[in-house]
Amino acid sequence: APPELWWKDGVVYQIYPASFKDGNGDGLGDIPGILSKVDYLKDLGIDIVWVSPMFDSPQVDMGYDISNYEDVYPPYGTVKDMEDLISACHERGMKLILDLVINHTSDQHAWFKESRSSKTNPKRDWYIWKPPRYAEDGTRLPPTNWRSYFSGNTWTYDELTGEYYLHLFAKEQPDLNWENEECRTAIYDSAMRFWLDKGVDGFRVDCVNMYSKGVSFQDAPIINPHAYEQPAWSIYANGPRMHEFLREMNTQVLDIYDAVTVGELPHTPDPKKVLDYVSLADKQLSMVFQFDIVDLGQGASYKYQYQPWKLPQLKEIVAKWQRFIEGTDGWTTAFCENHDQGRSVSRYASDSPEYRVLSAKMLAMMMCAMTGTLFIYQGQEIGMINVPTSWPIEEYKDIESLNFYNQIKATGDKEALDYAMTSIQILGRDNARTPMQWDDSAFAGFTENKDGAWMRVHDLYPEINAAKQMGEKDSVLSFWKDMIRFRKGHREVLVHGSFDMFEPENEKTFVFGKRFGDKKALVVLNFTSEEQEVKLPEEYEGLKFHVGNYGDAQEMEQSAGGRKVRELRAWEGRLYGTW
Which chain residues interact with ligand TEU by CB under 6 A?
61, 64, 101, 149, 169, 206-207, 264, 266, 303, 339-340, 400, 429
Decide: helix, strand or coil at residue 200.
Answer: coil
Residue 506 CA to its chain's centroid (Å): 28
CB of 49 to ligand TEU, least distance (A): 17
User: By C-beta, is 207 or 484 nearer to ligand TEU?
Assistant: 207
| Residue 552 a catalytic site member | no
Interstrand relation of 573-577 and 544-548 (parallel, antiparallel or unpaired): antiparallel
CB of 233 to ligand TEU, least distance (A): 9
3-state helix, strand, coil in the chain (%, to 5): 35, 20, 45
Decide: helix, strand or coil at residue 544.
Answer: strand
Stated as kind and residue range, the H or E segment containing 467 is: helix 466-470
Q: Which listed residue (47, 175, 206, 340) is catalytic?
A: 206
CB of 19 to ligand TEU, least distance (A): 13
CB of 327 to ligand TEU, least distance (A): 29
Amino acid type, 113 = K
CB atoms within 10 A of CB 148: 22
Sheet with strand 573-577: strands edge to edge: 498-502, 509-516, 519-526, 573-577, 544-548
Nearest residue to 19 via CA among 456, 464, 478 = 456
Burial class (CB in 10 A: 0-12, 13-18, 19+), 87: middle
Instruction: Tell me 143's DSSP state.
Output: S
Burial class (CB in 10 A: 0-12, 13-18, 19+), 158: middle
CB of 213 to ligand TEU, least distance (A): 15
CB atoms within 10 A of CB 401: 24
- Angstrom CA distances, 232 to 54, 228, 414, stand at 29, 12, 27
| Residue 264 a catalytic site member | yes
User: By C-beta, is 35 or 210 nearer to ligand TEU?
Assistant: 210
* Pairwise CA distance, residues 568 & 562, whole Å: 16
CB of 548 to ligand TEU, least distance (A): 34
Nearest residue to 246 via CA among 233, 234, 235, 262 = 262
CB of 397 to ligand TEU, least distance (A): 13
The residue with its CB nearest to ligand TEU is 64
Q: Which listed residue (201, 264, 337, 500) is catalytic?
A: 264
- Angstrom CA distances, 383 to 184, 380, 548, stand at 41, 5, 17
Decide: helix, strand or coil at residue 502.
Answer: strand
Q: Active-site positions?
A: 206, 264
